[in-house]
Amino acid sequence: MALDSDYLTWLEDLFSVVPDTNIKSMFGGAGVFRQGLMFGLATSDGRISLKADDETLGDFIAEGCEEWQYQRKNGKITTMGYWYMPERLSEDTEELLAWSLKAFEVAMRADRNKPPGQRKLK
């Protein structure tokens, strides 16, 4: 199920506090990108997750957040390092900016760990 245009417009507006961010529809949801790196994921159920790693995972756990996951066609549950953001961030632009920039840093760290030919940031 694709996201409707009103929701995509709302996402663009929400993440407009993060410089150089754009929203791309994908796989029935939407990716939140900055400088070609995806740091956020919006799902068709209206939830938003941000990229996390060992350095930022504690923030999500402290807020009682859950890890985003999906079920593959073969029934296997898969995760990709995205955690649902606290809902309060939708109403607090300063906090959303801070959490989003941390998520972007996670995406940059992950990008640096890829072989040089596969990196998005040069």
How would DSSP label each residue in 16-79? GGSTTEEEEEETTEEEEEETTEEEEEE-TTS-EEEE--TTTHHHHHHTT--EEEEE-TTS-EEE
Q: In one letter, which amino acid is 107?
A: A
- Model confidence at 122: pLDDT above 80: no
| Spatial contact of 85 and 62, defined as CB atoms under 8 Å apart | no
CATH number of 5-112: 3.30.1460.30
Instruction: Summarize pLDDT for 79-93 with one digit per residue, the tens.
Output: 899 999 999 999 999
Average pLDDT taken over every residue of the chain: 93
Instruction: Summarize pLDDT for 17-62 with one digit per residue, the tens.
Output: 999 999 999 877 899 999 999 999 998 888 999 999 999 999 999 9
So where are the chain's domains? 5-112
Q: Which residue has the tokens 């593959």?
A: 72
Q: What is the pTM of this model?
A: 0.91
Q: Give me the sign of the Cα torsion angle 96, 61, 109, 10.
A: negative
Q: Give me the sign of the Cα torsion angle 62, 66, 67, 68.
A: negative
